[in-house]
Amino acid sequence: MKAIVVADQTAGAAGMTLVERREPQAAINDVVVQVHASGFVPTELAWPSTWSDRLDRDRTPSIPGHELAGVVTALGYGTTGLSVGQRVFGLADWHRDGTLAEYVAIEARNLAPLPGDVDFAVGASLPISGLTAWQGLFEHGRLQAGQSAVVHGAAGAVGSMVTQLAREAGAYVIGTGRATDRQRALDFGANEFVDLETDALEDVGGVDLVFDVIGGDIGKRSARLVRAGGRLVSIVGPVEARPADVLTVDFVVEADRPQLSEIVQRVRDGRLRTNIGNIVPLDDAVAAFNATKRINGKTIIRIRP
Ligand SMILES: NC(=O)c1ccc[n+]([C@@H]2O[C@H](COP(=O)([O-])OP(=O)(O)OC[C@H]3O[C@@H](n4cnc5c(N)ncnc54)[C@H](OP(=O)(O)O)[C@@H]3O)[C@@H](O)[C@H]2O)c1
């Protein structure tokens, strides 16, 4: 099969190559999926799991990509809940070969059925950003109707999902980002926008929740925006500034079939818009990942035309 692999951690996206690889086998409780479309988060080339296994052994050359939509072609020993020929989408294991390939072996529990009226490219754009938004807002952030939330990077892949889901849940959303992101963040439903390059973030005060996708200095300054008893949820590592009266949580997204189904249902009925910037075929994927031009929204790789 065709697959994109990486072997040199220092090379970044320039080290990606399209090669021929053996098709994967389904292990216990796995399925093999013929991948129709794949998502890719550029920062995954910096994640240790791209380079080593759970025992910290080198696993290169490894196949990146952790989001997929496709069709089940084989079941592993003891696999239940999915069937051959079924359309699925979901989140692949961080430590296994991923989804920038024609086939992937993946635990069935990481997948949900993809309804027939949802395009594979749309399905592949949802797992990481959709599940991260859902879990950050409702499990870790405990967001309630009537509360207020600062959503950093509100025009980005995760932030645009956070903004939409928070608004649907009845929250007041203050989106942030660069000046050029203002209109896109407002279009995704932010009630207000703070331009992090020129506006004073500190003018926002007393919110119930901050959802941080940026970290660094923005993360440090964000803790002071949360009211006593509120929460700061980070998806970019541990929060350095931890005021005593604010609960801070950092987490890594997990696969969840019921949540995937909730998310795709919202896309079908128009409550949730995807944030796809570019769809490219597998043969052009390496060039797309190395492009210098800024793309608004996710790049999705269409593996099967
Ligand atoms: N823990 C988890 O489970 C998890 C899950 C998903 C993603 N992540 C991480 O979360 C981060 C965001 O992911 P994403 O896919 O949403 O990325 P993305 O699509 O690039 O969105 C990030 C947004 O924030 C903006 N931004 C970044 N730094 C900024 C700054 N200093 N000032 C103003 N705006 C800024 C970006 O603008 P520019 O493009 O102009 O920089 C972009 O609009 C990544 O680091 C990713 O690895 C973690």
Asked if residue 298 and residue 191 are part of one domain, the reply reads: no
Instruction: Report the atom number in ligand 1 closest to the C-alpha of 252.
Output: 3
Estimate the crossing angle of helix 127-134 against helix 257-268, to 10 degrees: 110
214 and 282 inside one domain: no
Q: Which residues' Cβ are closer than 6 Å to ligand 1?
A: 41, 43, 128, 132, 153, 155-159, 177-178, 181, 196, 213-214, 218, 235-236, 252-253
What's the 52 CA to ligand 1 centre distance in angstroms? 24
At 296 the pLDDT is: 87
> How far from 39 is each of 15, 111, 141, 150, 265, CA to CA, in Å?
18, 14, 25, 26, 19
Distance 6 CA to ligand 1 centre (A): 22
User: In the structure encoding, which two tokens stand for residue 297, read together?
Assistant: 């929204």
Distance 31 CA to ligand 1 centre (A): 31
* Same structural domain, 121 and 133: no
- Looking up residue 135, the CATH number of its domain turns out to be 3.40.50.720
Query: Does 281 map to a domain?
Result: yes
pLDDT tens for the chain, 305 residues long, are 999 999 999 999 999 999 999 999 999 999 999 999 999 998 999 999 999 999 999 999 999 999 999 999 999 999 999 999 999 999 999 999 999 999 999 999 999 999 999 999 999 999 999 999 999 999 999 999 999 999 999 999 999 999 999 999 999 999 999 999 999 999 999 999 999 999 999 999 899 999 999 999 999 999 999 999 999 999 999 988 888 899 999 999 999 999 999 999 999 999 999 999 999 999 999 999 999 888 889 999 999 98
256 lies in a domain? no
**Residue numbers of the domain that contains 229:** 129-250
**Which residue's alpha carbon is nearest to atom 10 within ligand 1?**
213
Which residue CA neighbors atom 40 of ligand 1 most closely?
178
Domain count for the chain:
2
